[in-house]
Structure formats: C-alpha cells, structure tokens
C-alpha cells in the first residue's frame, strides 16, 4: 500500500495498537477516522491529534455498523483503507455459567464485526486496501482465552481467502499479526510484561514499506514461520501448568 495520501478507517483506534497506527498514519499524511465505544477517549484523541475524525459506535451491534457505514458513504465516500483492529480478549473456562453469552459477545466483536464491515466497505467507490489485525495466537491457541484464540484463527483463515478473492479487484489485503504487546487488551495490567506498542508499529511500517502483506514481529514471526512440530511445542509451552 502507499503509506501516505489515504483516507483510513481504524476500528478501535483510540487505544493500544489502533492508536499507535492512527498516530503514525496521521504523521505520514493520511486522513484518519477512528471509531470505538468510549466517547471520552475519542474526545481526548481529537485534542491530541488535530485533524482526526471520530465516530462513537458499538461494533458488536449490526445496526451500529450499518449506521457507521451510512455516515461514511455520505461524508467520506472516498475512504480507501479499512483497518479491522477492534477486538476483545476474555479469560474463560468451558464450565463457567456465563461461558456461552461471553463467547457470543467475543464472536460478535472479533468475527462478525470485521466480516460485516468488510462487506460494507467493498461497496464504496474506491476501496483499495484492507488491513486485518489477527494475532500470534491464531497459530497456537492459549487455552485460558479459548474463544479469543479461535476467533483469531478464524480471522487469519478468512484473511487468506479474502486476499485471494480480491486479487482480481486490485484490493490489497494485509494481515497484521501482533505478538503480545503492552496494551489494556483483556483488562489493565494483563499485558505489562509485553513489549511496547511503538516497537510493533515501527516494525509494521518498515514491513509495509517493503510491500509485505503478512506482517509479524517477535513471537508472531516465529508462529508464522513455524512447522507442525514447532506449533505443538509452542502450544505445550504456553499452556503448561504453572
């Protein structure tokens, strides 16, 4: 993709990896729109990054996704890049009494929302790039976050198909595969052991400039290159009793 001169929608762009991407894409002379549920966070971001455009919505709800798309079609029909970044991660066990409703919620945000937004985005006048944010856990699941890991495996698989399906339409499909990073994903303090978002963002832009379409870093680079035996070992290591 061209690094500059785009109009980009980043879902979940007011915190963590989405925020890192938003800041860098603004710096690289792009028009950036971000959306999320927390209005106060979006307001703060407007103060910090003049020129940024924000929209409050809950992407787990189909009508709110339609509303976002209708606004984009009316006000920003020249949007050419969609970044499906928003996601949640929940620790859960199969015997939890609320297992199924929580699983459903995670599936709505991590799977239904990006699928729906992708199909809507492709109706715009000149879509040319879709960036999907998956995870190193797409390749070997962490069993304490079983639905999260499975949702990212789904999203990785869908991204491979989407890239192939959109070849003829000249829409580039890029996968960002982050390793664990120090964000508030899953709750404050859960990822403080992990590298800062800035390191990943630098790696992302380096690899985008090289024209890569599968962008990984650290642990996720190992996962992307791993064979079946390596994946088995990674699974055992990550899920060993502590």
Ligand X SMILES: NC(=O)c1ccc[n+]([C@@H]2O[C@H](COP(=O)([O-])OP(=O)(O)OC[C@H]3O[C@@H](n4cnc5c(N)ncnc54)[C@H](OP(=O)(O)O)[C@@H]3O)[C@@H](O)[C@H]2O)c1
Provide the annotated active-site residues.
Answer: 148
CB of 77 to ligand X, least distance (A): 22
CA nearest 50: which of 31, 36, 72?
Answer: 31
The piece of 25-33, 80-88, 157-165, 209-217 that touches ligand X (CB under 6 A) is 80-88
Q: Which residue has the tokens 């070992």?
A: 233
Report helix angle 197-209 to 16-27, nearest 10. Answer: 50
Query: 32 and 22 in contact (C-beta within 8 Å)?
Result: yes
Query: Closer to ligand X at the Cβ: 86 or 126?
Result: 86
- Under the criterion CB under 6 A, does residue 146 sit at the interface with ligand X? no
Ranges within 151-210 binding ligand X (CB under 6 A): 178, 180-181, 183-185, 191, 194
Q: Output DSSP code: residue 185.
A: T
Whose structure tokens read 């664990």? 180
Nearer to ligand X, 5 or 187 (CB): 187
In whole angstroms, the minimum distance from the beta carbon of 11 to ligand X comes to 6
User: Which strands make up the sheet holding 53-56, listed edge to edge?
Assistant: 53-56, 31-36, 7-11, 81-84, 129-133, 172-177, 214-216
Residues that bind ligand X (CB under 6 A): 11-12, 14-18, 36-38, 41, 57-60, 85-89, 109, 133, 135, 178, 180-181, 183-185, 191, 194
């Amino acid at each position: 993709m061209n690094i500059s001169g785009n109009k980009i929608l980043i879902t979940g762009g007011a915190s963590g990896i989405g925020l890192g991407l938003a800041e860098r894409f603004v710096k690289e002379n792009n028009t950036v729109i971000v959306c999320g549920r927390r209005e106060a966070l979006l307001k703060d971001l407007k103060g910090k990054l003049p020129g940024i455009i924000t929209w409050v919505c809950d992407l787990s709800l189909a009508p709110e996704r339609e509303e976002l798309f209708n606004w984009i079609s009316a006000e920003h029909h020249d949007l050419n890049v969609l970044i499906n970044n928003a996601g949640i991660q929940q620790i859960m066990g199969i015997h939890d009494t609320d297992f199924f409703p929580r699983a459903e919620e995670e599936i709505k945000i991590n799977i239904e929302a990006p699928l729906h937004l992708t199909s809507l985005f492709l109706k715009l006048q000149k879509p040319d790039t879709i960036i999907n944010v998956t995870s190193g856990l797409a390749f070997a699941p962490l069993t304490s976050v079983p639905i999260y890991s499975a949702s990212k495996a789904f999203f990785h698989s869908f991204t491979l198909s989407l890239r192939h399906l959109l070849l003829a339409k000249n829409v580039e499909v890029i996968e960002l595969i982050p390793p664990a990073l120090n964000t508030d994903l899953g709750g404050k303090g859960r990822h403080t052991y992990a590298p800062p978002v800035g390191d990943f963002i630098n790696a992302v832009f380096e690899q985008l400039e090289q024209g890569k379409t599968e962008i990984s870093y650290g642990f996720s680079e190992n996962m992307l290159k791993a064979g079946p035996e390596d994946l088995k070992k990674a699974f055992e290591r990550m899920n060993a009793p502590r």
